[in-house]
Amino acid sequence: MHIEITDLRELHWLLGIEVSRNRNNHTLSLSQKSYLDSIIRCFNFQDLKPISNPMEPITKLHSRQSPSTGADYAAMRHVPYREAVGSLMYASLGTRPDISYAVTTVSRFSSNPGQLHWDAICRIYQYLLGTTDLKLTYGSVESVLTGYADADGSMGEDRHAISGYAFLIDGGAISWSSKCQEIVSLSTTKSEYVATTHTTKEALWLRSFIGQIFEPFTNPITLFSDNQSAITLTKDHQYHAHMKHIDIHFHFIRWVIEEEKLRLIFCPTVNMIADTLTKALLSPKVKHFTSQLGLRAA
C-alpha cells in the first residue's frame, strides 16, 4: 500500500497552538497567546486590570452562593458562564496548567452559577490578561520523565479532596491533572495515597507510550510526594487500623513499586510542583510553580 505524504516543512501551528523552536538554545515552546487574546476580547475582559494569581487563597466557592431568588436568577440570566468556562478549559488542557485548579473549581457551578462564581471566572481572565506571553518551554534543562503527586489538605463542602499531578520532561510539563477524587477521604493521608495511586496509572501509560516511540525504560520513573505517611503505606504491607477500610484497588501502587517501574520519593511541600494543581496559592508561589512547570515569558 502506498500513501502520499506532503512535506509541510517545519511545524508552526497545531490546533491553535503556536509551536516555535530556538535552535541556538535547543528549546521548543508552545503558546496559546492568540487564542487567549481572542477569548479575552470575546468576553470583553480586555479592559480589566491584570493580576498575579488566578484565584485568591481566601476564596471559598460553594453551592450556597448560587441564585436562590428571582432577582438572583434574573441577574445571571445573560451571563455567559458556561461559554467562559469552556473557553478556559481548552487553555488549561493545552498549555496552561497554572490555571487548571481554578478552572476545575469554577466548572463545578456551571449548572447554577452565582455572582461570586462569575467573579472567580473574571479573576482567571484577569490573570491570563497579564500572562498571555507565557510559553510552555522544553529543553531549558535536560531531565528524564519525572512526576509530582499531591492532594489538597482542606476539602470542599462535598468532602471530596482534589488530586493533582504533573509530569515533566526537559524542564516542561507534558501531562497534568486537577480533579475531584471520587471518594470521601477520612484523612489527609488517605487523600494523598489515593492521589498517588491515580498518578501511578498515568506514569505507567507515559512509560509505555514514550518507550514505544523512543526506547523502553530501564530505570523506574521517579514520582515525588510530600506526604511521608502515604509513602510509608506504599512500602509497608502490615496491617494499619486507620486504613483498613480503603478499597483494595488503591493498593495497586504497591505492586508497581515492587516491579521497580516506579520510585516514590519524599518532596517537601515548598518544592511540590503539583501543589498549584490542588489549591489556590499566593502570588509568589504561583510564579514559582508556574516557572517550575515550564511556563516562561516569550
pTM score, two decimals? 0.90
Q: Which of 5-9, 40-44, 214-218 has the highest mean predicted lDDT (pLDDT)?
A: 40-44
CA-closest candidate to residue 163, choices 286, 76, 250? 250
Run of H or E including 195: helix 188-213
The sign of the torsion formed by the CA atoms of 37, 43, 49, 52 equals negative
pLDDT tens-digit series, residues 57-66? 988 899 899 9
pLDDT tens-digit series, residues 140-193? 788 899 999 999 866 565 678 899 999 999 999 999 999 988 877 667 778 888
**What pLDDT is stored for residue 276 in this prediction?**
95
- At residue 79, the 3 state secondary structure works out as coil
What is the length of the chain?
298
**Domain ranges (residues) in the chain:** 32-132, 141-297
Compute the distance between CA of residue 195 and CA of residue 84 in angstroms, rounded to an integer: 28
> What topology is assigned to 141-297 in CATH?
Nucleotidyltransferase; domain 5 (3.30.420)
Would you say 163 and 198 are in contact if contact means Cβ atoms under 8 Å apart? Answer: yes
DSSP 278: T
3-state secondary structure 25-76: CCEEEEECHHHHHHHHHHCCCCCCCCCCCCCCCCCCCCHHHCCCCHHHHHHH
Q: Is the pLDDT of residue 238 over 70?
A: no
Would you say 89 and 103 are in contact if contact means Cβ atoms under 8 Å apart? Answer: yes
Check residues 207 and 160 and name the one with the higher pLDDT. Answer: 207
CA atoms within 13 A on the CB side of 287: 7
CA-closest candidate to residue 128, choices 86, 105, 96? 96
Tell me whether residue 35 is exposed, middle or buried, using C-beta atoms within 10 angstroms of its C-beta: 0 to 12, 13 to 18, 19 or more: buried
The cell for 146 is 519525572
Amino acid at 8: L
Mean of pLDDT values over 130-145: 91
What is the signed CA dihedral for 114, 120, 123, 124, rounded to 10 degrees?
Answer: -120
pLDDT tens-digit series, residues 48-91? 999 999 999 988 899 899 998 889 899 899 999 999 999 999 99
